[in-house]
Amino acid sequence: MAIFDDMDVTTIWLDGSFVDWDSAHTHVLSHGLHYGVGIFEGVRCYDTVRGPAIFRWDDHLTRFYNSAKPYEMDIGYSTSDLTEATLELLRRQNLNACYIRPIAFYGYDRLGLSPVGIPVQVAIACWPWGVYLGEEALSSGVDVMVSSWRRYSSNQVPMNAKTTGLYVNSVLASEEAHRNGFSEAILLNTDGNVAEGAGENIFLIRDGDIYTPDLSQGVLAGITRETIITLAREKGYTVYDEAIISEDELHSADELFFTGTAAEVTPIKKVNETIVGKGSRGEITKDLQSTFFDVLNRRNEAHDEWFTYV
């Protein structure tokens, strides 16, 4: 189990059956392995005051099925099938808080670019996973660099599909950042405007208003992104969610933060060698972060429709 050896996870749902974690295999000549044609989601289950609850599961499933469409991939299971499989998987492993990874990919049949007729494999795994960029990052923020790698544009690949192969771009950018002593990377698009982080959406705050790049800028339609936009507007903030942000604006921002299922809401304290704002978590970021975690922990009854209880 490698990094999962010390975690109490023993089971994966694979192609309709619950199998032992170490037996969840696929063939080395699987089409998805060679050509990167797979789709996936990252979802969190939270241990709330009302019990374990998957956050925005229906929205993640909708994106999952939409991601399959450009590749003409037939998932082969209904949304209710995947929901029940996931809930049962969580129950079997007694997980109250965890990360959930549904994935579908073209499996083993033959090699060659065309996937027509190749069977689709579908799996769901879940495991305990803490704060993606580190617990301290939620309050202290992270240092990031603008990567030399550029984000794909939507006329090259379907950017609103969460495709396995496209994350090669993110790996390159993230590892470049790590080699240079930064926690994460920001990618520009092919026009030189800000797209997103290696695995996160990005928000900029200036003069009390909130900006985030338009989806046309090579940005994944992040579910946490949409959540923060909704919560910010409910709190009375002005949010521009169709913004075009230049690299220069990153250096003059009052506040910056990442959003994502893994990163949740993580402040950015430095871009390259430029300190953002006062070099600490800004007040608006703190307010939105607190509101977000209040919703997740069910300290209020807002947005109950966002939760699927185990």
Cβ 146 vs Cβ 272: under 8 Å: yes
Q: Which residues pair with 88 in a beta bridge?
A: none
In a 3-state reduction of DSSP, which class is residue 30? coil
- If one counts every other C-beta atom within 10 angstroms of the C-beta of residue 39, the result is 27
Tokens of 219: 């940005």
Distance CA 25, CA 236 (A): 49
Q: How far apart are CA 285 and CA 203, in angstroms?
A: 9
Cα→Cα distances 122→25, 86, 104, Å: 12, 12, 4
Residue 269 catalytic?
no
Pairing of strands 307-309, 255-260: unpaired
E-assigned strand segments in the chain: 11-14, 17-20, 38-40, 43-48, 51-55, 98-106, 120-127, 142-150, 184-188, 194-197, 201-206, 209-213, 239-243, 255-260, 264-271, 274-275, 307-309
The H-assigned helical ranges of the chain are 31-35, 57-68, 79-93, 137-140, 167-179, 223-234, 247-251, 283-296
Q: Please check whether residue 203 is in contact with residue 250, taking contact to mean a CB–CB distance below 8 angstroms.
A: no
Question: Among the options 162, 235, 270, 286, which is catalytic?
Answer: 162
Question: What sign for the dihedral angle of Cα 114, 119, 120, 125?
Answer: negative
3-state secondary structure (DSSP) of residue 167: helix
Nearby residues of 248 by Cβ (< 8 Å), 6 or more positions away: none
Kindly list the catalytic residues: 162
